[in-house]
């Protein structure tokens, strides 16, 4: 299973990105880490070039919201990305925010899994459950 | 111990020919009614006679270069990497096609020298389908090369006649791999030069391979401080009759493409003062600062229609200005160089015979002030004795 990951926008918080890279590898994923300061187009382009199954975006510094709104308009320009699992995590709003409201908002932006201030391992467990469910559905 | 033998170095440009022996450079205007060899023999016959074929080294920029069309699956990786490699091999890119939208692109009417197809890391596959082959059927090209996913190579080979398959230019970490495609393109360029009838005749006077001039200049760059008081970082502008080349060190580019070469090169095919005079004027008229520049030089735009010494000077000055614009943040072009960080600008090529130090510095200062709104003043260094080219040719000879 291939995963493209990185930190979106002008965000330089690198610690989580390194941990995500290590944890994904430890769980057996093939990881394409674009690192910090990555633009949405580069994320989508990396999925096209690698044939990745999952796009896992981090955002820590408070920029997530702005980028989130760009996701759908940009995705419509790509013809082959419909099956990719889209996941985002980190600090998805400035300050605290209502978790349910954040979930709803980012799902409307086009994300399948939304992990606002959720610990990494919990988030990666959610990803695994999601992928298993998807395989079951497609087999059924 | 090897005895050092005097060498004869010859550069055949689109406008001038230069002939250099130890310590002496002579320069002649090309006579286009004559074959290059005849022209050379007529003008420098006595010098030629003094040298054995082994001691004559020739380079040429007279062929104007090859054209390429690149088809890739994303802007950020395949197209960007292939574009980078093509530019650095001195190839002119006529278009880039984003494969998923290939049906929306028109097919260029003129023949393309080489088509480059790229996409996907090696473990990915099925990136291309019938729409690619349909497009190619309508296109006229001389060479075609595939540098995408190794898993796709067999299908590509079975569908496209005479396709050359090379290792992927995108590695498994999504980084660029330059060398194979670069070598292929450089060789094509080389073959193109050698294949020109005119150039072939030059083998009557040399036993050595004839190289492209930009290649030679590029070779000289790491050693440039042997001849000039150049302060790093620097850029080098080679402004000639048909093209303008800019050579720059990698650290001047924002792009984070990591490659092995220290110096890159960009060719602006349509910026020259003789052969591509028309397109130079066209790009000048398209630039919002140019009228102000002409005023600054105390001329009107009528000068662009004139054919005089004064007009050539102005065109050379415009060429400097336009190249700087094209590589600055003011115009989003293929690259943006950190022009505020450079300490020297080295000028070589035909320009050094037309403009003096003051006239060059005037334009550089105008550019920095108007376009970059800065008082920054990099040093202008004028290579009026073709030292750079001599240095490059010697460097190459030493490697052989
Ligand atoms: C260290 C740090 C910096 C360093 C970064 C150094 C570096 N290169 O990494 C420096 C000083 C440079 C910095 C700068 C800034 N920072 Co700062 N920084 C921090 C700090 C203190 C720690 C971040 C860290 O490394 N944590 C350790 C890692 C392991 O934890 P983490 O990043 O939270 O990631 C975990 C989870 O979020 C999760 N996770 C992350 N991504 C994803 C994705 C998925 C899918 C999942 C499931 C989980 C997940 O996994 C990780 C492990 O559990 C935090 C505060 C804090 N205590 O969190 C602020 C913080 C992130 N910074 C903040 C801000 C505002 C800034 C600046 C804008 C400050 C400024 N005004 O200049 C700049 C922005 C710079 C930029 N361009 O990005 C804010 C963000 C506010 C927001 N989003 O609401 C924070 C939260 C501080 C605060 N409380 O205000 N910062």
Q: Whose CA is nearest to atom 7 of ligand 1?
A: A13
Residue closest to B62 by CA, chosen among B202, B257, B255, B242: B242
Q: Evaluate if residue B90 carries a pLDDT over 80.
A: no
Cite the residue boundaries of each domain of chain B with CATH code 3.30.420: 8-63+196-213+391-399, 229-382
- pLDDT: is B363 or B29 the higher one? B363
Predicted confidence at residue A27, as pLDDT, reads: 97
The verdict on a CB contact (< 8 Å) between B76 and A32 is: no
Convert B328-339 to b/e letters by CB count within 10 Å (16 or more is b). bebeeeebbbeb
Active site residue A11: yes
**Distance in angstroms between the alpha carbons of the first and the last residue of chain A:** 21
Nearest chain B residue to A79, by CA: B100
- Helix residue ranges per DSSP H, A88-119: 99-109
Nearest chain B residue to A41, by CA: B76
Mean of pLDDT values over B262-290: 69
Residue labelled with tokens 């009838």: B197
The verdict on a CB contact (< 8 Å) between B77 and A46 is: yes
* Distance from Cα A51 to the centre of ligand 1, integer Å: 30
Predicted confidence at residue B271, as pLDDT, reads: 54
Contacts of B123 in chain A (CB under 8 A): 2, 30, 50-51
The verdict on a CB contact (< 8 Å) between A45 and B123 is: no
Residue A48: strand pairing partners = none
Predicted confidence at residue A30, as pLDDT, reads: 97
CA A100, A106, A108 angle in degrees (round to 5)?
105
Q: Evaluate if residue A6 carries a pLDDT over 50.
A: yes
Helix (H) or strand (E) holding B294: helix B290-296
The best mutation among A5, A16, A119, A129 to test binding of ligand 1, ranked by most ligand atoms within 8 Å of the C-beta, falls on A16
| pLDDT tens, residue by residue, B304-349 | 888 888 888 898 899 889 888 888 877 656 567 888 888 889 998 8
Q: Do A54 and A2 contact (CB within 8 A), yes or no?
A: yes
Predicted confidence at residue B396, as pLDDT, reads: 72
Contacts of A50 in chain B (CB under 8 A): 120-121, 123-124, 174
Predicted confidence at residue B4, as pLDDT, reads: 57
Domain count, chain A: 1
Residue A21: band (very low, low, confident or very high) from pLDDT cuts 50, 70, 90: very high
Q: Whose CA is nearest to atom 67 of ligand 1?
A: A61
Among A117-131, B13-27, B197-211, name the most confident range. A117-131
Mean of pLDDT values over A47-70: 96
Atom of ligand 1 nearest to the CA of A7: 41
* Distance from Cα A95 to the centre of ligand 1, integer Å: 12
Mean confidence (pLDDT) of chain B: 84
| pLDDT tens, residue by residue, B38-82 | 999 999 999 899 999 998 988 887 656 688 999 999 999 999 999
The verdict on a CB contact (< 8 Å) between B76 and A50 is: no
Neighbour order of strands in the sheet with B234-239: B263-268, B244-249, B234-239, B344-348, B379-382
Q: What percent of chain B has pLDDT over 90?
A: 38
* pTM: predicted TM-score of the whole model, two decimal places: 0.76
| pLDDT tens, residue by residue, B347-357 | 988 788 888 99
Q: Evaluate if residue B172 carries a pLDDT over 70.
A: yes
What is the CATH architecture of B67-183?
3-Layer(aba) Sandwich (3.40)
Structural domain containing residue A129? 2-139
CATH of the domain at A110: 3.40.50.280
Query: How many interface pairs between A and B have CB atoms less than 8 angstroms apart?
Result: 42
The verdict on a CB contact (< 8 Å) between A41 and B75 is: yes
Atom of ligand 1 nearest to the CA of A113: 45
Among B3-7, B240-244, B286-290, B360-364, name the most confident range. B360-364
Mean of pLDDT values over B272-284: 70
Q: Evaluate if residue B272 carries a pLDDT over 80.
A: no
Contacts of B117 in chain A (CB under 8 A): none
Mutation choice for B interface testing from A42, A46, A48 by most B CBs within 10 A: A48
Contacts of A51 in chain B (CB under 8 A): 120-121, 123-125
Predicted confidence at residue B266, as pLDDT, reads: 60
Q: Which residues line ligand 1 (CB under 6 A)?
A: A 10-16, 19, 56, 58, 60-62, 87-91, 94-95, 115, 118-120, 123
Helix (H) or strand (E) holding A7: strand A2-7
Selected from 1.20.1250, 3.30.420, 3.90.550, 2.60.40, the CATH number assigned to the domain covering B229-382 reads 3.30.420
Residue B256: band (very low, low, confident or very high) from pLDDT cuts 50, 70, 90: low
Query: CB atoms < 10 A from the CB of B69, how many?
Result: 24
Q: Which long-range contacts (CB under 8 A, 24 or more apart) does B308-315 make?
A: B312/B273, B312/B354, B313/B354, B313/B355, B313/B359, B315/B273, B315/B277, B315/B280, B315/B281
- Which two three-digit tokens encode residue B344? 């020297």
Look up the ipTM and state it: 0.94
- pLDDT: is B216 or A45 the higher one? A45
Q: What percent of chain A has pLDDT over 70?
A: 100
Q: What percent of chain A has pLDDT over 90?
A: 93
What is the CATH architecture of B8-63+196-213+391-399?
2-Layer Sandwich (3.30)
Phi, psi of B35 (to 5 degrees): -60, 145
Predicted confidence at residue B112, as pLDDT, reads: 93
Mutation choice for B interface testing from A49, A76, A80, A81 by most B CBs within 10 A: A49
Contacts of B124 in chain A (CB under 8 A): 49-51
């Amino acid at each position: 299973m291939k995963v493209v990951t990185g930190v979106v926008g002008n965000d330089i918080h690198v610690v989580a990105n390194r941990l995500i890279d290590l944890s994904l590898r430890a769980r057996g994923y093939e990881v394409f880490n674009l690192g910090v300061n990555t633009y949405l187009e580069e994320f989508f382009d990396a999925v096209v070039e690698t044939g990745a199954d999952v796009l896992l975006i981090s955002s820590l510094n408070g920029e997530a919201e702005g980028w989130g709104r760009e996701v759908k308009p940009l995705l419509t320009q790509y013809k082959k990305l419909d099956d990719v699992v889209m996941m985002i995590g980190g600090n998805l709003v400035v300050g605290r925010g209502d978790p349910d409201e954040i979930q709803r908002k980012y799902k409307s932006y086009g994300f399948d899994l939304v992990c606002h201030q959720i610990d990494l391992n919990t988030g990666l467990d959610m990803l695994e459950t999601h992928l298993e469910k998807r395989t079951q559905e497609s087999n059924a | 111990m090897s005895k050092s033998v005097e060498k004869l170095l010859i550069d055949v440009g689109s406008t001038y020919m230069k002939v250099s022996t130890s310590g002496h450079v002579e320069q002649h205007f090309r006579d286009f009614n004559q074959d290059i060899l005849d022209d050379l023999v007529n003008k420098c016959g006595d010098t030629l006679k003094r040298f054995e074929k082994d001691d004559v080294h020739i380079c040429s920029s007279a062929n104007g270069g090859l054209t390429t069309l690149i088809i890739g699956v994303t802007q950020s990786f395949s197209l960007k990497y292939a574009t980078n490699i093509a530019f650095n091999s001195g190839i002119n890119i006529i278009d880039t096609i984003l494969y998923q939208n290939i049906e929306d692109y028109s097919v260029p009417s003129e023949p393309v020298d080489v088509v480059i197809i790229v996409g996907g890391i090696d473990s990915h596959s099925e990136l291309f389908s019938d729409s690619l082959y349909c497009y190619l059927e309508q296109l006229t090209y001389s060479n075609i090369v595939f540098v995408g996913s190794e898993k796709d190579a067999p299908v590509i080979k079975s569908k496209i006649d005479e396709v050359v398959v090379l290792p992927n230019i995108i590695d498994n970490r999504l980084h660029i791999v330059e060398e194979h495609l670069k070598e292929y393109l450089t060789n094509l360029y080389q073959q193109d030069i050698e294949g020109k009838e005119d150039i072939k005749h030059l083998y009557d006077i040399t036993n050595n391979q004839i190289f492209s001039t930009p290649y030679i200049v590029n070779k000289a760059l790491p050693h440039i401080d042997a001849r000039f008081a150049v302060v790093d970082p620097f850029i080098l502008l080679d402004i000639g009759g048909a093209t303008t080349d800019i050579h720059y060190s990698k650290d001047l580019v924002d792009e984070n493409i990591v490659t092995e070469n220290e110096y890159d090169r960009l060719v602006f095919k349509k910026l020259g003062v003789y052969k591509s005079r028309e397109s130079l004027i066209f790009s000048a008229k398209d630039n919002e600062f140019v009228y102000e520049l002409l005023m600054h030089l105390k001329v009107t735009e009528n000068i662009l229609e004139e054919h005089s010494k004064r007009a050539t000077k102005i065109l050379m000055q415009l060429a400097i200005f336009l190249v700087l614009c094209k590589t600055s943040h003011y115009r989003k072009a293929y690259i943006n160089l950190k022009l505020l960080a450079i300490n020297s600008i080295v000028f070589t090529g035909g320009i050094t015979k037309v403009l003096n130090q003051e006239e060059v510095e005037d334009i550089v200062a105008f550019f920095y002030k108007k376009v970059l709104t800065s008082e920054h003043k990099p040093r202008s260094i004028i290579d009026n004795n073709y030292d750079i080219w001599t240095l490059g040719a010697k460097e190459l000879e030493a490697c052989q």
